[in-house]
Amino acid sequence: MTRDMYDNTTDVKMNEEILNNIRYCIDGITLIIVIFLGLIGNTLTVIVLTRRVMHTSTNTFLTGLAVWDMIVLLGTLFLINLPQLDTNFQMNVHPYIVAYVYPICLVAQTGTVWITVSFTVERYIAVCHPLKAATMCTVFRAKIVIICVSISALLFNMCRWFEHKPYEATVITDSNLTVRHFNYTLTEFGQDPIFKQAYYFYLYPTVMLFIPLGLLAVLNTLLVLAVRRSKLQQRTMHVRQARENNVTVMLISVVVVFMICQIPALVYNIAYSINSDIKKDIGWEVLSSLRNFLVTFNSAINFLLYCAFGQKFRCIFIRTFFRRVLKDDSFVSVSTPGMTHLMTKLDNKTYRSMLHKGNPCMEMSHTQQTHLSRYSPYSSLTPSPRPSPLPHTRKQPNGFHSELHPDIEFNCTSHLLSGSSGSINTHTPSPQT
């Protein structure tokens, strides 16, 4: 063996060792944490979104997305994670996973992509064409779209069940022991050059990457512009518009994270469709592990996005899972444009804001009697030129829920229906140590 051949062999072994270490860190240790946290988050998401108060077309789409995300996470666990952590699993079970479970993961991934496109289109109609939203953006239509997307995803990936097959192989170890294990290989159909070129070069990049990412980029831009226009009109914006904007911002964040996580997969798949030999390069193999991690991360992160940007989701989540800590009558919610407050009880008649977005700190005095309140849309420092209209208010089963005007300070006059009156006071909190 010449010195050059020895150096090349050494470099190859070093590259393989580096690649194995990277895969163990990304596909092994890190990925299993993301998968289990993602499964917990998506389970909580389904529970919250299926509450009666969350029964909307948008939440129907998000429920379908959470279900497909859980299938992606479970598939990643068996397809990528466990083979990296357990050698016996890789040698005996993994070939069957590739042949029969991997196509299910692809169906789930296709479903997540096109459900994301679907709720973005639905949100575009609701925000930019509100007159059509009442007839087009319904729960029934959302369920029909989810079923159509799921069937289409299954048909599109049907050919992947005929791409691989497992077989039994033998390996002779250094101690001359014969070890039997299982492996997988391409079938004749999977080796067909016409199939590989048609599916990997044309269909997959177009259906899974170019069309959905292009639609999401255009629609997301239009939604961002619509939200910015409504922000400029916030002084005259009523509560329903504020809630619609909050839902839109939450979905925009979901789409942005989705697009970022799909970029490495886009680059790798385009390169692989041009030259399938890139799998022999360590750099492309690292990118392959990164794209798989980001796709998995995207399926696991949505629950945090809903909690961070979804005011209603956040409040319903607290009311659902912290009922033992906070009794049913121990907190109420007050919504204003740009703010949602969750009030926790201080004493029998006083509540303080526990969860809110915005600067004001709110305190609410509350009685068990039903009453209506009239709020002035003007600051308490500015005289109101005319009486303000009576806003829509309602008494919830577990507390009083008021919809206020978008000002920081309110003049409140209570109109008592029975018993003593209640009041809501807002003030700017002072710094506390």
- Total Cβ atoms within 10 A of residue 22: 16
What are the residue ranges spanned by the domains of the chain?
Answer: 14-318, 324-427
pLDDT for residue 373: 34
Residue 152 predicted with pLDDT over 80: yes
The residues pairing with 183 across neighbouring beta strands, listed in sequence order, are 167
pTM of the model: 0.73
pLDDT digits (tens, 9 = 90+) for 174-221: 667 777 778 889 999 988 989 988 888 889 889 998 899 999 999 999
Buried b (16+ CB within 10 A) or exposed e, 236-250: ebebebbbbbbbbeb
What mean pLDDT comes out for the span 395-405? 41
Model pLDDT for residues 381-397, shown as the tens digit of each residue: 334 444 444 444 444 44
Q: Is-contact 77 32, C-beta < 8 A? A: yes
- Fold exhibited by the domain 14-318: Rhopdopsin 7-helix transmembrane proteins (1.20.1070)
- Euclidean distance between CA atoms 412 and 374, whole angstroms: 6
Res 417: pLDDT: 33
Residue 68 burial by CB count (10 A; 0-12/13-18/19+): exposed, middle or buried?
Answer: buried
Measuring CA to CA, which residue among 313, 409, 315, 387 is closest to residue 354? 315
Q: What is the pLDDT of residue 385?
A: 44
